[in-house]
Amino acid sequence: MSENGQMYASIQNDINTINVKSSIVHQDTNYYETYYHFNKSKNKILLVVDDNNSLVGIIGVKEMTNVDSFQSTAIKMANPKFTFLYNDSDYKEKALSLFYENNFNNIPIIDKNGHVIELLNRSDFYELRATTWALGSGEDLIFAFVLRNMKEIFYIDVGAFDPQFGSVTKCFYDCGSHGINIEPLTKQYHMLVKDRPRDININALCSNIDKNEFDFYINESSSTAVASYASDKNKIKKIKSVTLKNIIEKYLPENQVVHFLKIDVEGFEKEVLEGMDFQCCRPWIVMLESTLPGTDIPTWQNWESIIVSNGYSFAGQYGVNRFYVESSVAELLIPRFLSLDTICKRLLVTEVNTTYRVV
């Protein structure tokens, strides 16, 4: 076994997998039957197979929404370029690395004949509570590592955006947890309402003031409340701004522990923190994006004093995100961040074995 394989040796063997049969359609299946099976699919993915039951393509949300004709068959709708893993002895280790380093929600596992034998889901690896991770952008897996052994996690997601793709909280929700999502964009808010019925979903901008009309700049790459960061200052939408303090007072259940607060607001971090009352609500972990939008230029110096002065300690930076831990749980959580940091440094000087194919 490779060095990385040894590092992943603590991964459990029995991963809960999706029923593969319910996710498979034949390549000649017509549009209407494909649509029916897609809507029944738990994780909104279909595996398209040929006459030999070999995997030839996948249909996800993007493929279903881009259908150009109701006369299409499954093979015409499917994306022929997809990531999969062979069912060799360490495929779960490889899958863990892939989930960590990418925004994949599902990875099909096939045998040497191209037959699908498993369909791994990202949330399966949240259940594992594995003890080591590769360095990457998988904030959800960082939270899962640090908060391992917690039966249920409550989160507050400021700038939640999409409920599925790139969502830090999706894995936790899929495993039974819930929390509060705050999203200023109307389209994404309605997606959250539809996909997250157990969550409390709020359509507002978090700021340091309560205001009915706040300028919000809508851009293709990223939207922001900071005019200087907007690529197109002409696309302005007036939206409601609310302080995080008032949202928590109104919506947070009494005596509810908040295990993590995630703030991803494209340069508006200081204003969000100024609108938070850390004496009334003390999340165990606070994660903030710490660079100028779309760059690696640090901005955390502009707001770190606010969170540190409220009794939080810096725990580590992974990618563009900085993590802070509340004083009462620092003794428990800081060592976990330190062990995570040590593992990441080891992996930086070790070739990560993430063998996979894109066909």
Q: Please report, for the chain, the start and end positions of each structural domain, with discontinuous segments joined by +.
A: 3-131, 139-345
Topology annotation, domain 3-131:
CBS-domain (3.10.580)
Structure-token match 């994306």, residue found: 79
pLDDT > 60? residue 345:
no
Q: Comparing 132-141, 208-217, 247-256, which segment has the lowest mean pLDDT?
A: 132-141
Q: What is the pLDDT of residues 42-80, one digit of tens each?
A: 667 888 988 888 888 888 888 888 887 777 898 898 888
pLDDT for 104 equals 76
pLDDT > 60? residue 9:
no
pLDDT for 15 equals 34
Instruction: Return the structure tokens found at 89.
Output: 């002895």
pLDDT for 347 equals 41
Q: Give the residue with greater pLDDT, 267 vs 32.
A: 32
pLDDT for 235 equals 63
Structure-token match 């495993």, residue found: 175
Who's near 138: CB < 8 A, 6+ residues apart? 99, 100, 101
Q: Please compute Rg for the chain using Cα positions.
A: 22
Instruction: Return the structure tokens found at 152.
Output: 């249920």
pLDDT for 313 equals 96
Confidence category of residue 123, pLDDT binned at 50, 70, 90: low
Q: What share of the chain is helix, strand, coil (3-state, %, to 5)?
A: 30, 25, 45
Share of the chain above pLDDT 90, in %: 28
Give the highest mean pLDDT range of 104-108, 186-190, 329-333.
Answer: 329-333
pLDDT > 90? residue 287:
yes
Q: Comparing 90-104, 241-255, 318-332, which segment has the lowest mean pLDDT?
A: 90-104
Residue 117 backbone phi and psi in degrees, to 5: -115, -20
Instruction: Return the structure tokens found at 325.
Output: 């831990």
Q: Are strands 154-158 and 178-182 parallel, antiparallel or unpaired?
A: parallel
pLDDT for 225 equals 46
pLDDT for 166 equals 78
Average pLDDT score, the chain: 78
Three-state DSSP state, 237: strand
Q: Cβ distance 207 to 241 under 8 Å?
A: yes
Question: What pTM, to 2 d.p., does this model score?
Answer: 0.61
pLDDT for 301 equals 94
Rounded distance, CA 85 to CA 293, Å?
A: 34
Q: Please state which CATH number belongs to domain 139-345.
A: 3.40.50.150
Residue type present at position 2: S
**Strand (E) positions, the chain?**
24-26, 46-49, 55-59, 83-86, 106-110, 116-121, 154-158, 178-182, 200-202, 205-207, 211-217, 236-243, 260-263, 285-289, 312-318, 321-326, 357-358
pLDDT for 227 equals 45
pLDDT > 60? residue 359:
no
Q: From the centroid of its chain, how far is CA 199?
A: 15
Q: What is the pLDDT of residues 312-336, one digit of tens each?
A: 999 988 888 899 999 999 999 998 8
pLDDT for 260 equals 98
